[in-house]
A and B are shown apart, each in its own frame.
Chain A
């Protein structure tokens, strides 16, 4: 039914900053996901590997390609997704 050239996965870059970077144990990682995945799904994939991250879900915002984005934003291959703790510049 599906055309043979349909992609079976997408690849995005995930970035972590501030204290979250220390919890996640990484600053960035490229991740493969099913097409149609949302930012929420990407975060859940990290939580499955690092359950400690789930405690931070309520105090984070996400961005997609340098713009703040809702958690149910659908990902596309090549996206740069960042998980941002409360900002404290100035």
Chain B
């Protein structure tokens, strides 16, 4: 199902640095009393091994569609105003921002809850993968399997 059109939201994948200020400005309106942001960044170690850098790849068309679905769901679950969500792809150095989410709302509880829900949902349902590079090699990060429809005994009819 296509998400509802929410023209005030701002959802993107980028190959350059994420402009966090622009995203915060995007969600800021006169009716809001709170903006909550999440800045996910590249850590310098993983399970005790020193990380040199990380490389992100995505199934871009599906990732964007899933990110838009998350934004649409956030609007149905929480009393919020606007959502801005960006994920960066390609090589990222230590400390750089890989994902940034900003949510505005009239009151802060909804903004906190919506931002938390958005990043948690992104991490287990958006088709993006991270490869971690160490001094002695590289590995694809352990991930989460998204929930998927289970096999049905009969052919599903189109819906």
- Tell me the A residues contacting B by CB distance below 8 Å: 15, 17-19, 59-63, 66-74, 82, 84-90
Whether B127 is near chain A, meaning CB under 8 Å from some CB there, is yes
Query: Contact: A68 with B57, CB < 8 Å?
Result: no
Q: How far is the CA of A87 from the CA of B56 in the complex (A)?
A: 11
Residue pair B151, A89 in contact (C-beta under 8 Å):
no
Inter-chain contact count A-B, CB under 8 Å? 98
Residues from chain A with a CB closer than 8 A to the CB of B136 are none
Q: How many residues of B contact A (CB 8 A)?
A: 38
CB of B78 within 8 Å of the partner chain: no
In the assembled complex, the CB of A9 is this many whole angstroms from the nearest CB of chain B, namely: 19
B127's contact among A63, A70, A71, A73, by CB below 8 Å, is which? A63
A62-B128 in contact (CB<8A): no
CB distance from B70 to the nearest CB of A (A): 12
Q: Are B140 and A59 in contact (CB under 8 A)?
A: no
List residues of chain B with CB under 8 Å of any chain A CB: 40, 56-59, 61-63, 65, 87, 98-99, 119, 122-131, 140-152, 155-156
Q: Are the C-beta atoms of B146 and A84 separated by less than 8 Å?
A: yes
Select which of A60, A62, A89 is within 8 A of B58 by beta carbon: A89
Q: What are some 19 contacts across the A-B interface (CB < 8 A)?
A: A17-B59, A18-B57, A60-B145, A61-B146, A63-B62, A63-B127, A66-B62, A69-B149, A70-B151, A74-B155, A84-B127, A87-B128, A88-B123, A88-B128, A88-B142, A88-B144, A89-B87, A89-B127, A90-B122
When chains A and B are docked, how far (Å) is the Cα of A74 from the Cα of B61? 22
CA of A14 to CA of B149, assembled, Å:
19
Identify the closest chain B residue to A73 (Cβ). Answer: B156
